[in-house]
Amino acid sequence: MSHCPFCKKKIAMSKAFCSRGCKENYFQLIAIQIPKLFMKRIFVFCSPAERELEIEQFASRHKWRLDLLKNKIEEEAIKLGYIEDTSTPIQY
């Protein structure tokens, strides 16, 4: 058994994705590129309300799904140090 690269469901070895939606989401997520200057602008110079508006405008400008863009922004913000990763447990 293999796993779908997007949703991690178990699928047959002969398939690459579990559904057409997963395939489209996976490739759109790969296509999303967020400039570091945009990240700096929304995390340093914008309030949380302004940040939401900027993200929505950015998504509509590039015709990307808002939920995928928010996930990608969160990943990039963790990498760049703008927010802390709360999903991983603290190791002592």
- Domain assignment of residue 86, yes or no: no
Asked if pLDDT for residue 84 goes beyond 80, the answer is yes
Token pair for residue 79? 């990498």
> How many domains does the chain divide into?
1
Q: Which two tokens stand for residue 33?
A: 């590129």
Report if residue 88 sits inside a domain.
Answer: no
The pLDDT value given to residue 91: 54
**Nearest by Cα to 22 from 5, 10, 37:** 5
Give residue 38's domain range: 2-11+18-80
Does residue 85 belong to any structural domain of this protein? no
Tens digit of pLDDT for each residue in 28-47? 989 999 999 999 999 999 99
54, 12 contact by CB (below 8 A): no
